[in-house]
Structure 1
Amino acid sequence: MLKIVAASFISIFFINIVYAQKSFNITIELDTSIIPKNVHYQYYDGKNTTFIPDTFGDRRVITFKKEYYSPFASFIVSYKDPVNNYYDNSFFITSMPSKIRFYFKANNQSKLQYDHIDNAVPIYDTVANKVWAKMLAFMTDTVVTKENKAFDLFLAQNKGFASNDSLTHIFQNFYKRRLNRYMLFLEKHPNDYFSFWYFTHQVAQPKGVLSRDKTYLKEQLAYLKSVFPAKYTESLEGKELIKAYEAKINPRQLNESVPQFTLTTIDGKHVSLLSLKGKYILLNFWATWCPPCMAEIPFLKEIRKKNSPEKLVIIGISADFDSKKLNAVVKNQEMSWIQFHDRNREISRLYGIEAYPTLILIDKEGRMIYESNLVTNDQDRLPKMLETLK
């Protein structure tokens, strides 16, 4: 079934930073060289990466105020020019009010450029971020350059490597050596938040192409715990990363008890798994931006039709970015079951969900008895399971 599966100057900002919930306030200005509707925004808050819905029209001045839980929030602005070339830029920001004014000029670095910046640090800037500058030098020495060329040649000559086990093994070895090179550098700068952030977003593999290699995941987890200080590994951000590793190394099994949760539905009702004990529960992890999820709606409506709510409770857990769109789709599609907007991916993380849609069936005692996989089709397997329920 088809499933939908990223400095010394910085050190100044560490003064008085704590890991509790904080809020950032950033104002973006766009000059006349930029088409506002072609600009997109996303941010990482220490727990999730959130793509901000494109609802700003032709506005050239936009202020974002969001919560975050890490030493910095990271904020990314991307732009598609009139001929469909993409440009972006990434920044660390804090609770200090920030302001960045952007303009567009085509360049070979695919960087969206700015001419004014207040209280924000461009992450991939060799002047503002000295650790990044050192990393670039470390990753482009003679030995690494030769390795990179060999890797690039392999990719160019073997575009269909994923369907060949032998070629996949070669690719994985190339990729591990590149990741290990990054890790060798990062362990020299463990106290700099950029190092931890970069490891989390660019090196860690719980959600990467090596997510099924448990041996390598164990190596990375040991590295994470031994290299980075407690101020990172014991923060909310660090704990979430460690949980992601553990979930892949020791995945949940059929007939094991599922994690408990309480949620507030999109129509304001409170629901807990504990309160539903004694009923079968079908969790539907989905999103309106996911074509396979939308295609699965008629199948779920048929399940609802054949199984009474007294016997089977269906809970939709949506990873949507836009609550208005979610509500509209639920209404228009007449999805007559519980819906929760998992905007911060809290339940999705709790259950280790990485692909959409995913269906999980829980028995009357709170044990998982069915889970979607990437091999077989839910529409073939799940009805047979539901027919056996008593």
Structure 2
Amino acid sequence: MFRLLLLLLLLPSSFVWGQEHVRLNIHLEGIDGGRLKIYFDDGLVNNLINVKEEDPSILLEKTTYTPYPRISFSYDGSYYQYFINRLLTTINIYYDEYRVDFPFYTDHNKDITPIYDTASNVIFRNLREDQKTEGLKLNELFTKHGSEMQTNDSVKYALNQVTKAMNAKSMAILSSYPDDFFSFLYFKDQVLGPTLFIEDDPEYYTDLLVYYNSTFPAEFRTTIEGKKIVQDLERKITPVLIKENEPMPDIYFKDIYGDTIFFKNQPEGFVLLDFWASWCSPCLEQIPDLRLLRENFSEDRLKIIGISIDRDSVSFINSIKENKMEWIHSFDRGGVLSSALGFNNIPRIVLLDRNGHIVYYKKGGRLDMQKINAILRKD
């Protein structure tokens, strides 16, 4: 039963605003498929592509929600990431042990463009040159205080200030190249990405949204990928208020079978929602507590639902296996619905009674197991 559940996780999401389809023929020469990892970024999720050890070529057909989908290759420590410039194209990748400096390489590929390459990308080169000071400060913060990012207010404040300073420099440069899709992608990944560390600052998010709408052309902003950026920022500007003793908002997820998960008027005594991702260390640290709850309370008393905002469905599946998360799961592709709740920072735990009222809510940090147990044991 659980194996069937995991297979069903591979089913595509039904969430679409409009889409295109890309068809790639990836030719491999001298490549051991078992050592090759290929990721396809469709604008919402970064998908790991399964490669068999003996594959001489791979035919890849995917839905894309962006005008420039991305593909990346990882092999023996080498990593390359490219824009795909045409929806129908061939990509050639090679491995030659006699090329000492760069044995893994791509060649004769006119329809893909390197992304983060300082040699060919003048925008990226300017960004890296201008951000040296902030980059050093960030490295120092993570090296010295990485474990305190969510618990130490002084560290969080320092991180916020450095992140905002770096973002300001990035945005000044990107505004000079608004029609280059690299600028749009950099804003999405490298400016908005670090704002996960900046909480409860609607004024700052408003400034980012104004910049986004006034800088980038409509052809980027009106794509599914572009609309998702607006949605995320709007939810940060006007977040949904999740509070104990308040009803859960009427936002419903689908499980991996495609069935809607209902929170209100349920036969179970309580429903626990765990918003997590495989890359989130604090999320993984609280899994043993969730397993303990699963062991101590019957499914009639407590329904546990894991809601992942992973960008990579394969990592999501593997993490469920590795961590023995044997409860209901939902893959919130691209974090679309989670962000509608304002859950851009994880972990989040929401415990509901059978009427859909929030009886326990935790944002980050360790769970208060004593409090949760007391609630679940109430008549």
- TM-score tier by shorter-chain length is 0.7 to 0.9
**How far 1:341 moved relative to its partner?**
4.3
Determine the C-alpha separation between the residues in 2 that align with 1:253 and 1:150: 34
Q: Superposition pairs for residues 240-389 of structure 1, below 5 Å?
A: 240-251=228-239, 252-254=241-243, 255-261=246-252, 263=254, 265-266=255-256, 268=257, 270-273=259-262, 276=265, 280-286=270-276, 291-292=284-285, 294-302=287-295, 304-305=297-298, 308=300, 312-318=302-308, 319=310, 321-322=313-314, 329=321, 335=326, 337-342=327-332, 345-354=335-344, 358-388=348-378
Which residue among 189, 194, 211 is the counterpart of 2:177?
189
Which residue among 122, 140, 153 is the counterpart of 1:133?
122
Which residue among 106, 109, 132 is the counterpart of 1:148?
132
Assess, with a 3 A threshold, how the Cα gap between structure 1 residues 178 and 262 changes in structure 2: closer, same or farther.
closer
Query: 1:75·1:93 contact (CA, 8 Å) conserved in 2?
Result: no
* Residue in 2 that maps onto 1:20: 18
**How far 1:248 moved relative to its partner?**
3.2
**How far 1:183 moved relative to its partner?**
0.6
Q: Deviations over 1:254-276 (max 9, x none)?
A: 1253242252x44x473342775
**Counterpart code for 1:75:** I
**How far 1:296 moved relative to its partner?**
4.0
Query: 2:24·2:89 contact (CA, 8 Å) conserved in 1?
Result: yes
SS of alignment partner, residue 75 of structure 1:
strand
**How far 1:180 moved relative to its partner?**
1.3
**How far 1:42 moved relative to its partner?**
1.7
**Counterpart code for 1:233:** R
Structure 1 residues 313-322 or 94-103, which shifts more? 313-322
Count of matched residue positions in the alignment of Structure 1 and Structure 2: 348
Q: Percent of aligned pairs with the same residue?
A: 25
Determine the C-alpha separation between the residues in 2 that align with 1:232 and 1:299: 46
Give the ranges of 4+ consecutive aligned residues of structure 1 lying more than 6 Å apart after TM superposition: 287-290
Assess, with a 3 A threshold, how the Cα gap between structure 1 residues 180 and 92 changes in structure 2: closer, same or farther.
farther
**How far 1:199 moved relative to its partner?**
0.6
Determine the C-alpha separation between the residues in 2 that align with 1:166 and 1:291: 25
Q: Give unmatched runs, 5+ long, in structure 1.
A: 1-18
**What is the TM-score when the length of structure 2 is the normalising length?**
0.73
Which residue among 77, 87, 95 is the counterpart of 1:95?
87
Indicate whether 1:72 and 2:60 are aligned.
no
Which residue among 43, 46, 57 is the counterpart of 1:61?
57
Q: Deviations over 1:281-307 (max 9, x none)?
A: 3223456787436534532423542x6
* Residue in 1 that maps onto 2:29: 31
**How far 1:68 moved relative to its partner?**
1.0
Determine the C-alpha separation between the residues in 1 that align with 2:62 and 2:111: 16
**Counterpart code for 1:64:** L
Q: Give unmatched runs, 5+ long, in structure 2.
A: 1-16
**How far 1:380 moved relative to its partner?**
3.6
* Residue in 2 that maps onto 1:178: 166
**Counterpart code for 2:21:** S
Q: Deviations over 1:143-176 (max 9, x none)?
A: x3xx625753784599415657667655544443
Q: Deviations over 1:63-100 (max 9, x none)?
A: 22211111121111122x2xxx4432332344223323
SS of alignment partner, residue 236 of structure 2:
helix
**How far 1:182 moved relative to its partner?**
1.5
Determine the C-alpha separation between the residues in 2 that align with 1:157 and 1:298: 33
Query: 2:264·2:356 contact (CA, 8 Å) conserved in 1?
Result: no
Which residue among 224, 235, 242 is the counterpart of 1:236?
224
Q: Deviations over 1:214-250 (max 9, x none)?
A: 4433322221122223333343222211222233344
SS of alignment partner, residue 77 of structure 1:
strand
Assess, with a 3 A threshold, how the Cα gap between structure 1 residues 327 and 151 changes in structure 2: closer, same or farther.
closer
**How far 1:36 moved relative to its partner?**
2.9
**Counterpart code for 1:242:** V
**Counterpart code for 1:366:** G
Determine the C-alpha separation between the residues in 1 that align with 2:127 and 2:348: 41
Assess, with a 3 A threshold, how the Cα gap between structure 1 residues 325 and 158 changes in structure 2: closer, same or farther.
closer
* Residue in 1 that maps onto 2:11: none
Q: Deviations over 1:19-44 (max 9, x none)?
A: 83111122323332x44323222222
Query: 2:253·2:330 contact (CA, 8 Å) conserved in 1?
Result: no
* Residue in 2 that maps onto 1:41: 38
Assess, with a 3 A threshold, how the Cα gap between structure 1 residues 138 and 351 changes in structure 2: closer, same or farther.
closer
What is the aligned-residue RMSD (CA, Å)? 4.0
* Residue in 2 that maps onto 1:14: none
Determine the C-alpha separation between the residues in 2 that align with 1:122 and 1:24: 18
